[in-house]
Structure 1
Amino acid sequence: MSLLRSARQLLPGTADYAPLKRSWKNDLIAGITVGIVALPLALAFGVSSGAGAAAGLITAIVAGVVAAVFGGSNVQVSGPTGAMVVVLAPVIALHGMQSLALVTIMAGVIVLAAGALKLGRAVGYIPWPVIEGFTLGIAIIIFLQQVPAAFGVPAGDSTNAAVAAFQSLRNTDFSTLFWPLVLVLIVAAIMLAAPKIHPQLPGSIIGIIVATLVAGLAGLPVTRIGDLPSSLPAPSVPYFDPGLVTALLGPALTIAALAAIESLLSARVAASISDTGPYDPDRELVGQGLASVASGFFGGMPATGAIARTAVNIRAGAKTRASTIVHALVLLGVVYLATGPVGQIPLAALSGVLMVTAFRMISPATLRSVIGSTRADTVTFFVTAVITVSFDLIQAVEIGIVVAAFFALRSLVKASGVHREELPGPAQDGDEQIALFRLDGALFFGASERVLERVSAIRSVHVVIIRMSQLQILDATGARVIAELVTALERRGITVLIKGIQERHLKLATHVGVLESLRHHKHLFAELEPAVEHARSHVSRARQQTTTARTRGMS
């Protein structure tokens, strides 16, 4: 029964459209607005990935509708994105266009499975500096990928964006350089100026229209998009080649991880900046997985939630997922009514759109926040960004998390420790024979050795009291160190009393042998005063025994 209830939570329902009676006008306007903004991005990302402008347009339409209906966010806009282009371009270059549909469907199935297995909240464990460093690296790669089209030269052979950009520049034919750069500058200037004139002006569309008119009227010798399908292609099952499936498994896992991370981050940001209700991370993964599967059957690319288009959707007044469906219908109208004019768009103009988009992905305020926070966060941020650009996207996230975890553990170790304290109340004769230690913070595999060294070094005492009431974190290694410490002190004839083991640590301490290592079960105390009183009684008894032994020796 619970399994059926969980499955129902991942499926669409009438509650998704409950506010539509009141918000349909806002949703309609928002859908049209974001559709206009999404058109040049869909075309540009399709071209930049090597899949072609048509694939980008198909992805925005098919995946946009499926993710809107099945996804976990009420205002998320899905389609081709820069991060996906970065990882997809080398796959198509290496395995050819026949790999596009197959890797898209494979990645979609993996994301779908992640949602069904309730793994949606895992993105919450990715540290903020890692996310921002990854975003910076993606922005740099997107910018570098546009260099060949912006300069009107073929792309370099390398799968690394920085190396490929350098190869393109090295082989630049300066006789063909001027006009593509002019078109890039026209688009960039209009996109940067449009928001200053009016926040709702679609600068990318205006820039592309102006650049296309300039190229057409002046007869400029620049490369254009070319022919586009005048209708949505019929769905088809890609050719199943076991060898190709094996070769694409690694890239599919990478694409799936990127799709999950980017979509969940986008949905989380959307929920924080809008009043359209929370998002369901597991349902979002199911929706994005289905969207990529559907896109693959229609010849499209893998899809993810797109934060830039989602933000436009929210600012335009979207309240329900109907706005995202309208956005896809606007793009569908372009396919059936305007493929001729769209095919005349110069590739350099699309490069200008993506260069400005990449530039806008880098927030100066965010950079200042990260760099001005802590040295550990700054190092994590730059390490993630450098590895993203230089090596691999998923490796960048993995290494970034490891670096962040290292610094977090180091901070935890520094905040943890063992402190010797004075005994409470007025001093009594023999108190110098009692050592009271307080354990603070966390006692785990990274900090336990220091505690062992500090307490083991104690000399000239009869009783050691270990206070554990302030200990917040205790793992098996830390508990075992306490057991070894007690055993070592008892072996030296030092009585050990333990005070204040928290209830949540008691089971672990018992299982690892902390209580068993004590000389007597009554050496475990809940309060400090009885522990100190018991310690003083031990010292007093030891002194009496010493005095008696001396008396006998003298007699």
Structure 2
Amino acid sequence: MIRVARHLRRLLPGPADYSGLGRSWRRDLLAGLTVGIVALPLALGFGISSGAGAEAGLITAIVAGVVAAVFGGSHVQVSGPTGAMVVVLAPIVASHGLGAVAVVSLMAGVIVLAAGALRLGRAVSFIPWPVIEGFTLGIAVIIFLQQVPALTGPAPAASHGNAVLGAVTALLAADPGYLLWAAAAVVIVAACMLLLPRLHPAVPGSLIGIVVVTVLSLVLPTPLASIGTLPHSLPAPALPPLDLTTMSSLALPALTVAALAAIESLLSARVAASLADTGAYDPDRELVGQGLASVAAGLFGGMPATGAIARTAVNVRSGAATRLAAITHSVVLLLVVLVVAGPVGTIPLAALSGVLMVTAVRMVHAATVRSILRSTRADAVAFVITAIVTVSVDLIVAVVIGVVVAGVFALRGLSRATGVHREPIAGDPERGDDRIAIIRFDGPLFFAAADRVLDTVTGLGGVSVVILRMSQLELVDATGAHVLSEIVQRLEARGVTVLIKGVREGHTELFRTVGVLDALRDHRHLFDDLPAAIAHARSHVAREAASGG
């Protein structure tokens, strides 16, 4: 009970979260202002791209950003709408309608919150690096393709379940004139994002690009569609309709959203911890914070939130050291809603598409892709399969398949490390030694290597005694122990005496439970040292020879 209370207390905010605030508050405020400027076009763009609307993106960045900053497990994590979440939400909106977003946000938030309370935060460490990078590549491709419909006409084509098919369909039905204006807007925004930061890293290229395109669209008679009217304040919190039918139909989408929110947030927090010495992160508390953030966003009409790797990296590189920076980022966005919602509503959608396209391209690092493809065949296959399944099927399915593929290759490699060797008897040979086989086991013995070991040992011929050397056996599972029991039984059934030498202390109970030791003809056939086992084997061979004579 005391341990549970301590764990729950550790998941809650405390004074230690702001221990360095006296030294870093100026840097935190500046970092929060910088991230807020960077986050504005992303919040708008991801909200629109998800189908929930620009308003939902802003609400999520503001509300979830504050809640995750206060309750999360990282001092510098910045949370809000992300590209990966957009990829999952778009088909949910298309299938269940806009009203499903708030419900899914609440349900997913509760699931993530429960995962943190149950100490599941370390689970992300089981996802291999190639799978994570393949997942990221797939998300980047989908985000890029999702912007194509917004560039093809003032009324984008209906949302399609698959980003590739949706992009192709939109291009086939494109308005050439509109597409030309939209492409020009994308080029302007991309040029600002790529070139202006070279003058100074602090220059917000995306924001300047959006301003330039917006001014041009107001001055020139362009056909470009804009965001439209935005609210001048946050809506009052309200519980969305929660009936059993709706919740049951959204259970699987909510589980998918929760899994994605947990994975992306923990990965982002881990990246943040590696970028600067801002303190370790608590993965369980991070899940609790992200769960509460999604619940809060859903109550205000927003969308599920996750930790945002790009915004978190900007936060850290801008000098953030405490949670004040992420809180400031949300305050900056709130001021945008309260003060300049009108001008923001005139931003062309094509400009936001340009921001997201460049963001998608930046998510993929060519050096990382090359290093994975050149590493091992197993890692390259896991990377490629994860990326393909992400784009063509589903994000969570892609992660599961990627982990399974990586696991299969890992088990294959581990099974090959299982060694079964016949070794000679040391010292001067004696008559009858050719009738004794010493079999040494090396490495792990588990289910993946069981059949090979069984066939190798039971296939021995022309021997009267087999000594199984176990001292080098590192890992044994129940299947491996069962195979050893079967080996002993088969050999003894053929009249071959089996001696076992050097059972490790950690394996004794398993061998006794599974029946390895009971399969021996005599309990005295278990030895601690090899010379005694060899002497016993020679006595067996001698008695056999005398009997035959």
TM-score computed with the length of structure 1 as normaliser: 0.97
The within-5 A match list for 1:76-475 is: 76-152=77-153, 154-475=156-477
Quote the offset at 1:220 in angstroms. Answer: 1.6
2:47 aligned residue: 46
Q: 1:514 aligns with which of 513, 516, 522?
A: 516
Quote the offset at 1:157 in angstroms. Answer: 4.5
In 1: Cα distance, 2:400 partner to 2:481 partner: 30
1:11 aligned residue: 12
Quote the offset at 1:142 in angstroms. Answer: 0.2
Q: Residue type of the partner of 1:489?
A: L
In 2: Cα distance, 1:228 partner to 1:4 partner: 44
Quote the offset at 1:212 in angstroms. Answer: 0.9
SS at match of 2:447: coil
1:157 and 1:84, CA in 2 relative to 1: closer, same or farther beyond 3 A?
closer
Q: Where does structure 1 differ by over 4 angstroms across 4 or more consecutive aligned residues?
A: none
SS at match of 2:507: helix
Contact 2:441 2:469 in 1 (8 A): yes
In 2: Cα distance, 1:531 partner to 1:155 partner: 79
Cα deviation code 1:68-98 (max 9, x no counterpart): 0000001000000001001101111222221
Quote the offset at 1:503 in angstroms. Answer: 1.4
Q: Residue type of the partner of 1:158?
A: H
1:552 aligned residue: none
Q: Residue type of the partner of 1:76?
A: Q
Contact 1:150 1:352 in 2 (8 A): no
Contact 1:114 1:285 in 2 (8 A): yes
In 1: Cα distance, 2:274 partner to 2:242 partner: 42
Identity %: 64
2:56 aligned residue: 55
Quote the offset at 1:236 in angstroms. Answer: 0.8
Contact 1:259 1:303 in 2 (8 A): yes
Deviates more, 1:219-228 or 1:304-313: 219-228
Q: Residue type of the partner of 1:171?
A: A
Q: Work out the number of aligned pairs and report it.
A: 547
Cα deviation code 1:126-172 (max 9, x no counterpart): 11111111111000000000001123352344211111111101101
In 1: Cα distance, 2:370 partner to 2:469 partner: 43
SS at match of 2:420: strand
In 1: Cα distance, 2:372 partner to 2:197 partner: 26
SS at match of 1:515: coil
Q: Residue type of the partner of 1:337?
A: V
Q: Residue type of the partner of 1:21?
A: G
Quote the offset at 1:325 in angstroms. Answer: 0.5
Which stretches in structure 1 are left out of the alignment for 5+ residues? Answer: 548-555
Please provide the CA RMSD for this pair: 1.1
SS at match of 2:229: coil
Q: Residue type of the partner of 2:48?
A: V
Contact 1:155 1:165 in 2 (8 A): no
Q: Residue type of the partner of 1:90?
A: P
SS at match of 1:124: helix
In 2: Cα distance, 1:306 partner to 1:367 partner: 21
TM-score computed with the length of structure 2 as normaliser: 0.98
In 2: Cα distance, 1:544 partner to 1:200 partner: 92
Contact 2:151 2:178 in 1 (8 A): no
Quote the offset at 1:181 in angstroms. Answer: 0.9
Q: Residue type of the partner of 2:136?
A: T
Quote the offset at 1:397 in angstroms. Answer: 0.8
In 2: Cα distance, 1:468 partner to 1:272 partner: 42
